Structure 1
Amino acid sequence: MTDTFDVDVTRDLDGPVEAAWAAWSTPEGLRAWWGPGPFTCPAAEVDLRVGGRALLAMRAPAEYGGGDQWSTWDFTLVEPVRRIEYTYRFSDADGVPQAPPMDDVPAEGHHEVEITGLGDGRSRIHMVEHGYTSAAARDMSQQGLEACLDKMAGYVAGGQG
């Protein structure tokens, strides 16, 4: 068996689990946080159910060369307002799988999301992404995911979710 490196990120949110769930389950919510830092999400479709799929575009700002990077999330487990598991793939705008941008990034990644209530109207997101084949690829993805979840925290705290 090949060793892999997992991304593991937890973020506490100043909003209830329902708001965190909305950030995952609606196109508006996904567009608000998908893409680290200055990256944006100009397009998001989501059918959040087992067997459903999300199709998202992450747009790079001009200083990073511009352009859209598409991905699909094929949902394998959905427990409303609690847990999501999905297979992540790089794709084109039609959802057709494409090769990953780097060799040590998996063509398919298994991702897990857990949402828990903390009381006082707060919640926690815990995410794990499996399958990176180098620490460098894992570390780059972890930085990106942490920045995305920072944006999600702002979205949820602003009452948008």
Structure 2
Amino acid sequence: MGKSHSLTVKRKLAAPPNRVFEAWTTPELLCRWCAPAAMSVPHAEVELRVGGAYAITMREVDETYTTTGHYRELVAGERLVLTWGWDDGPGREETLVTVTLATGASGGTDLTLTHDGFPDASEAALHEKGWRECLEKLAGLAGDLARG
């Protein structure tokens, strides 16, 4: 079966694009938002360069999950493209995440996230739910980043 399933999520954020880009590329900030609602991020590592690796550890009660990948494109304040894969669990194939940041009408950010390469619709739907919950947390952080 091909990897033809994808998802797109859009979100308006209060912080300007350069600050939102920092939230995607700074370990301390990733730890504040990059996990679905019921999870936390105890650890994140970033090698911020094209070809550089990242790792994000997510924790849910007694379970820990780690996603890893490499940056394919980095344009500060505008765009990130990264591979996305899970270190644990069967059937977790590497996929591709593209994040586009544009200056919104209010000076904030219009974020568009596209996640491509899922083997089936159910895997795409599961990740869409997770990304929506992550971006809800990022929206809260963006309010803090916009103020300071």
Between the aligned residues of both structures, percent identity stands at 27
Aligned to 2:43: 43
Distance 1:136 1:89 in 2: 16
Partner in structure 2 of residue 83 of structure 1: 79
- Say whether residues 1:67 and 2:63 are aligned partners: yes
- Deviation readout 1:79-130 (Å, 9 max, x if unpaired): 1111111111222xxxxxx5xx353x4x110111111111432101111111
2:120 is aligned to 134
Counterpart secondary structure, 1:36: coil
TM-score, structure 2 as length reference = 0.91
Once the two structures are TM-superposed, the CA of residue 3 in structure 1 deviates from its matched residue by 5.5
The one-letter code of the counterpart of 1:156 is A
Q: 1:122, 1:102 → 2: CA distance?
A: 39
| Structure 1, unpaired ranges of 5+ | 92-97
The whole-number CA distance in structure 2 between the counterparts of 1:3 and 1:73 is: 17
Aligned to 2:111: 125
Q: Show structure 1 runs of 4+ deviating over 6 A.
A: none
Separation in 2, partners of 1:129, 1:117: 21
Task: Provide structure 2 residue ranges, at least 5 long, that are not aligned to the other structure.
Answer: none
Q: Which residue is equivalent to 1:146?
A: 132
Measured after TM superposition, the shift of residue 73 of structure 1 is 2.3
**1:32-84 superposed Cα distances (whole Å, 9 cap, x missing partner):** 11111020100001122101111110111x2xxx2210111200111111111
Amino acid at match of 1:25: T
Instruction: Kindly report the root-mean-square deviation, in angstroms, between the aligned alpha carbons of the 2 structures.
Output: 1.7
TM superposition shift of 1:21: 1.0
CA distance in 2, matches of 1:59, 1:34: 11
